[in-house]
Amino acid sequence: MSIEKIPVRKKIALELFRKYRQNESRLHVLNYILWECTLRCNLVVCIAAAIASRML
């Protein structure tokens, strides 16, 4: 399907979705990075606790 054959409604919908995605990327929330850092921190704490309990 070429660009000329795309119906007007679909072109409008695609343009709106493109603008929505651009806006989302500008307003990106860092929840995932914070969650991943928390998991890593928890893993380090668990490993440290396991090592400390073996030393006692």
* pLDDT at 40 (0 to 100): 74
* pLDDT at 18 (0 to 100): 94
| Pair of tokens at residue 5 | 């054959």
Q: Which pLDDT tens digit goes with each residue over 1-56?
A: 566 788 999 999 999 999 999 988 887 766 565 566 677 777 777 888 888 888 76
* pLDDT at 5 (0 to 100): 86
30: containing domain: 3-55
pTM over 0.75: no
Q: What one-character DSSP code corresponds to residue 2?
A: -
Angle at 27 between CA 12 and CA 20, to 5 degrees: 10
* pLDDT at 20 (0 to 100): 92
* pLDDT at 24 (0 to 100): 84
Other Cβ atoms less than 10 A from the Cβ of 25: the count is 8
- Looking at the structure of the chain, the number of domains it has is 1
